[in-house]
Amino acid sequence: MKGVVMLVNEFPPIPTGGAERQAERLAMYLKNNGWPVWVITRRIDGLPARQNYQGLEIVRPLTVGFGKLKTITFVLGTLFLLWKLRSKYEILHAHLVYGPAFAAMLAARFLGKRVIVKLGNSGEFGDVQHSQRTLRGRLRLAMLRRWADVIIALDDTIYNEILSVGINPKQIRRISNGINVGNFFPLQTRIEAKKNLGLTNKVVMIFVGRLSPQKSLPTLLQALERALTSSPNLHLLLIGDGPDFVTLEDQVQLLGLRDCVEFLGNQSDVRPYLNAADIFVLPSKSEGISNALLEAMSAGLACVVTTVGGNFEILDQGRCGVLLPPGDVSAWSNSLIELANDPEKRQAL
């Protein structure tokens, strides 16, 4: 059996986002079912050029410089690796429409391989709209139209965005993200989990994700400040890291939230925190199919998210959770107060 090459900007063992975690799960699934799998990802300081990670062969081509030069050298290095491996694989699977997808489509075109490109987000931070803003992004979309054998859309919003840039519907497959729900089923009571974290008698909210503009966390912090006047036992756990960390720390200080907001950084295992939480919050401006939301639902949390991306589908149009407009501080504050003061509703959700 010939193999599959997965191409993705980031890959474990470094902390990764949802798209990269899905790439890891898919790569492991293929490997465990007898497929030879290689992973090509960007070079990271401190990590080797080649690495065996849980049975996967990870290759990191040499890159030099910064910005566009770094991307160009990554693409060239990837093309050379794909040429060297050409007799060992038939399928290239690129995650997100950026440098790895560009290299995958070029290689597939000239080496006679098949290529799958999976899109990760919709909206202003999504693959399509982000690509439309630059010349090289529009070039990637043109290549997607001509050279991609299959394009994976996670939800209806991404599907419609792909159609809007002239992609043939026959190229598109609707495949949602998924997780092993059994991995997140609570192993202890919420009372026990809260006691272990020193959060007894708190109504615990949890956010898991990248601290970036896409997640719109300033909206959440402003809403929390308002909600505390009616629900002073609210407590927020922020799990993750990212470019907005310092700005968010400053906002917490400015709003007087130091005693009820914890920055916990990246965590290799989020389950102890999910077990202790009552409410999962995701105030994003754009999403695909959120891994963090799926995990929170599997852990039995009431979920409050924005009306973007696949959130509609995951929460069954609001029947399985609370859907709120992005950026609406009043709506978020009112919802947090309602859930904080109504344990029966939290349990129902």
For 272-285, the pLDDT digits (tens) are 999 999 999 999 99
Query: Residue 221 belongs to what H/E stretch?
Result: helix 217-227
In this prediction, residues 261-273 reach a mean pLDDT of 96
For 188-245, the pLDDT digits (tens) are 899 999 999 999 999 999 999 999 999 999 999 999 999 999 999 999 999 999 999 9
DSSP string, 98-147: SHHHHHHHHHHHHHT-EEEEE----GGGSHHHHHHTSHHHHHHHHHHHHH
Phi, psi angle pair for 246, to nearest 5°: -65, -45
Residue whose pair of structure tokens reads 């060297």 in the numeric block? 84
8 Å CB contact between 153 and 121: no
Amino acid 339: pLDDT: 98
d(CA 305, CA 311): 7
Average pLDDT, the chain: 95
d(CA 29, CA 25): 6
At a CB cut-off of 8 Å and minimum separation 6, what does 143 contact?
Answer: 102, 105, 106
For 104-132, the pLDDT digits (tens) are 999 999 999 999 999 999 999 999 999 99
d(CA 42, CA 8): 8
Amino acid 1: pLDDT: 63
Read off the pLDDT band of 2 (50, 70, 90).
confident
At a CB cut-off of 8 Å and minimum separation 6, what does 175 contact?
Answer: 152, 153, 154
For 141-157, the pLDDT digits (tens) are 999 999 999 999 999 99
Q: Is the pLDDT of residue 15 over 90?
A: no
Which tokens is 113 given? 């391989």
8 Å CB contact between 194 and 159: no
b (16+ CB within 10 A) / e for 284-305: bbbbbbbbbbbbbbbbbbbbbb
Other C-beta atoms closer than 10 Å to the C-beta of 170 total: 7
Residue 3: alpha-carbon gap to chain centroid: 26
Closest CA to 206 of 301, 95, 113: 301
Amino acid 144: pLDDT: 96
* Sheet containing strand 172-174, strands side by side: 50-53, 56-59, 37-40, 3-7, 89-95, 114-118, 150-153, 172-174
Query: Residue 308 belongs to what H/E stretch?
Result: none
d(CA 126, CA 71): 19
Residue 251 exposed, middle or buried by CB count within 10 Å (0-12, 13-18, 19+): middle
